[in-house]
Structure 1
Amino acid sequence: MVSVASISCDRYQEEVVQEAVRKAVAELGGLDSFVSPEDRVLIKPNLLGPKPPEEAVTTHPLVLKAVIELVQNTGAKPVVGESSGGFLVEESLTARAFKETGTEEVCKQLGVEMINFDRVAATEIINPGSTVDSFKLPLAVLEADFIISLPKLKTHGLTLFTGAVKNFYGVIPGLEKMEYHRRFPNVNRFMEVIVDIFELVTADFAIMDGVVGLAGDGPGSSGIPCTVGSILASADPVALDTVAAGYLGYSDSQIRYLNLAAQRGLGRADLDRIEIKGNFSQSEYKKYDLPSNAVLSHLPNFILRPLFQGLMSKPVIDQQSCTQCRTCLDSCPQQVIIEQQDGNNTYLEIDESECSKCLCCQEVCPFDAIELKENFLFKLLRYFK
């Protein structure tokens, strides 16, 4: 039976986080049983964008620090790599994310190399899946001896949940991520892309920051920070995500890409066949808001397929909050964000008729100016529930 360790951790205090990470990995036999002293260990946090730790959008720097120290204690060499969401012509959003999330400070303190996947050599790797012929992957990923996924526990408006598996979408360099969103606007096909990438990268281990997660319309700042209070670890990232999604309130059949990964033999997505170790016990009264689109996962496929795009919540720009920084416009895979003119004033608007609802704009907006407009039918059902 596959094991997932779940250790209580109720606050971001360095000694508390360090002990929780150590205990979680110890429950699985210790990192020494997985990593050799000569290994180059790639640690892949979730740095969606340049957000401060208190927004609960990115992997907390204290969790990253604890994992780096754990790797260093084995004698192995840790490196930290990421490619954030979004795109700007003038600068690297990933470089800004390293700085503003506290990652850069931790890496400098511990003498660890940071790798911006947008700025390093990459090569085409043949995809055994059915979505694309090949993926461009950074050599730094391919040359790593051991890979640790270090995600944040979060909801996701498109895929409903994001964790250790979807975290590897962030190994794809900058504009390539936008291209896959453009080519696969259908959410089920996009989930196949996620699993194809996960299968190629071959994650060896996962440690999740579930101390304060994100509920509601995550994974960006439109989500709602929620105290879950756990550090999770597993040698099976699919199983870890299945347990973590359960903490938010999902059943193990709702997160479709995890079930797809399990069908390919990439991990376990059945809670009845996952052993949970550790001292974490979730309070029964804890209920978290799920994304507006979560109700769609309960519909049978014969209804869902023809209606899905029309039923999904739509991103809408809040003109009062928008500063017209154009990050969303530059990052939109479908190029459906338009600059409009009203007299002497200009404003940005999303063409709803062409929008694929990939929610990239919501993820990258630095000013939380993009909201999700819920389908009226679901709003009505929620009102009478």
Structure 2
Amino acid sequence: MSSVASISCSKYEEKLVTEAVRKAMDELGGLERLISKNDRVLIKPNLLSPKAPEQAITTHPLVLKAVIQLVQETGATPVVGESSGGFLAEKSLTAAAFEKTGMKSVCEELDVEFINFDRVETKLVSNVGNTISDFNLPIPLLEADFIISLPKLKTHSLTLFTGAIKNMYGVIPGLKKMEYHREFPNPNRFAEVIVDIFATVKPDLAIMDGVIGLAGDGPGSAGVPCAVGTILASTDLVALDTVAAKYLGYDDNQVQISNIAAKRGLGRANLNRIEITGNFVQLEYKQYDLPSNAFLSHLPNFILKPFLQLMMSKPIIDQQECTKCRTCLKSCPQLVIEEIDDGDTVHLEIDEANCIKCLCCQEVCPYNAIDLKENFLVKFLRYL
């Protein structure tokens, strides 16, 4: 049976967060049981885009700080590495994310190296799965003796949930993430890519920031911050994600990424086979909004499979909120966002016919200007 520690933490106060992280690791027998003093420990937070911590889109810097301090106390050497969700040739979104989220300040305060995976050498590593032949992985990741996934508890409009497993997608540098979205537009096949990366990298531990999570049409600005109130930890990342997804309201068979990983023997995705330890008790009346696409997971496969792309929610640009910054246009894997000049004004539009609904545009939009339009048939079925 797998074990997941879940510790109560009501708000982002340094003392409370530090105590919760320590208690979570104590439930697992202590971090010193897992790493040695000469180890180089790679900590991988979720820095999806340059957002302030209070937006609940990225791992909170106080959680990172607590984990770094725990690693340092063992005598090991922590380093922090990430590649954000979007990519701009003229500007590093990852560098901006380190700055905006407060991660850079934490690393500088604790004298810890932080690594932009978009700006380091990589090496081709054979994929242990079967979606593609190999992955281009950052050398600092490959040189690490121990890897900690430090995700944020969030919904995801494409994959329904994003946690410790999907957090490892951020080890893929810049443009490659866009290529995988383009090559695998089907959500189920894309989930297999995520699991392939996870299985190839093999992170050793996950500590999840679930103090304030993100519900609704996450994982970006269209999501809604929700107070969950917990720090989770486990060496079984599949089990951790299964428990965290349960807190948001998912069944343990609803999140495809976790199901695929469990079928491959990479962890437990059955709540009956997961021991939850610690002092966190979720209030029964807590109910959060799930992504508009979550309803699709309840449809029979004979209906879903042929019409999946048609039935998924579509991203649309809110022209009132759009500032024409063109971040979405430059980050779109399919190149289906166009700049339209009608003579009087210039605006951006998404070519719906060729959009693969990967929602990269929604993830990287700095101004919350991309909404999701639910398919009318799904909306109708939801109210039956």
TM-score range (shorter-chain normalised) is over 0.9
Partners in 2 of 1:116 and 1:145 — Cα distance?
19
Match in the other structure for 1:183: 183
Match in the other structure for 2:216: 216
Unpaired runs of 5+ residues, structure 2, are none
Match in the other structure for 1:261: 261
Amino acid at match of 2:228: V
Match in the other structure for 1:362: 362
Q: Deviations over 1:178-228 (max 9, x none)?
A: 000011111111111000000010010000000000000000010000000
Partners in 2 of 1:124 and 1:378 — Cα distance?
41
> Aligned ranges for residues 217-236 of structure 1 at < 5 Å?
217-236=217-236
> Aligned ranges for residues 11-26 of structure 1 at < 5 Å?
11-26=11-26
Deviation of 1:234 after TM superposition, in Å, equals 0.2
> Aligned ranges for residues 186-205 of structure 1 at < 5 Å?
186-205=186-205
Partners in 2 of 1:299 and 1:145 — Cα distance?
43
Partners in 1 of 2:154 and 2:194 — Cα distance?
16
- CA-atom RMSD in angstroms: 0.8
Partners in 2 of 1:218 and 1:283 — Cα distance?
22
Q: Deviations over 1:328-360 (max 9, x none)?
A: 000000110011111231110000000000000
Match in the other structure for 1:350: 350
Match in the other structure for 1:76: 76
Q: Does 1:325 align with 2:335?
A: no
Partners in 2 of 1:378 and 1:228 — Cα distance?
28
Match in the other structure for 2:282: 282
Partners in 2 of 1:105 and 1:55 — Cα distance?
18
Partners in 2 of 1:276 and 1:126 — Cα distance?
35
Match in the other structure for 1:152: 152
Match in the other structure for 2:92: 92
Partners in 1 of 2:8 and 2:161 — Cα distance?
21
- SS for the counterpart of 2:188 is helix
Which piece of structure 1 moves more, 335-344 or 276-285? 335-344
Which piece of structure 1 moves more, 245-254 or 296-305? 296-305
Which piece of structure 1 moves more, 338-347 or 230-239? 338-347
- SS for the counterpart of 1:47 is coil
Partners in 2 of 1:298 and 1:261 — Cα distance?
20
Match in the other structure for 1:337: 337
Q: Deviations over 1:141-195 (max 9, x none)?
A: 1110000000000000000000000000000000000000011111111111000
Amino acid at match of 2:98: F
Amino acid at match of 1:314: K
Match in the other structure for 2:140: 140
Deviation of 1:380 after TM superposition, in Å, equals 3.1
Partners in 2 of 1:140 and 1:266 — Cα distance?
24
What TM-score, normalized to structure 2?
A: 0.99
Match in the other structure for 2:243: 243
Q: Deviations over 1:106-133 (max 9, x none)?
A: 0000000000000001011111211111
- SS for the counterpart of 1:57 is coil
Amino acid at match of 1:135: F
Partners in 1 of 2:276 and 2:96 — Cα distance?
37
> Aligned ranges for residues 300-319 of structure 1 at < 5 Å?
300-319=300-319
Partners in 1 of 2:285 and 2:7 — Cα distance?
19
Partners in 1 of 2:110 and 2:128 — Cα distance?
38
Match in the other structure for 1:111: 111
Match in the other structure for 1:45: 45
Amino acid at match of 1:142: L
Match in the other structure for 1:168: 168
Partners in 1 of 2:2 and 2:121 — Cα distance?
36
What TM-score, normalized to structure 1?
A: 0.99
Deviation of 1:101 after TM superposition, in Å, equals 0.2
Amino acid at match of 1:203: P
- SS for the counterpart of 1:95 is helix
- SS for the counterpart of 1:228 is strand
- In the TM superposition, structure 1's runs of 4+ consecutive aligned residues that sit over 3 Å from their partners are none
Which piece of structure 1 moves more, 200-209 or 120-129? 120-129
Unpaired runs of 5+ residues, structure 1, are none
Task: Using the aligned pairs only, state the percent identity.
Answer: 71
> Aligned ranges for residues 31-70 of structure 1 at < 5 Å?
31-70=31-70
Partners in 2 of 1:164 and 1:179 — Cα distance?
22
- SS for the counterpart of 2:210 is strand
Amino acid at match of 2:359: L
Deviation of 1:92 after TM superposition, in Å, equals 0.3
Deviation of 1:257 after TM superposition, in Å, equals 1.1
Partners in 1 of 2:6 and 2:311 — Cα distance?
36
- SS for the counterpart of 1:85 is coil
Amino acid at match of 1:352: E
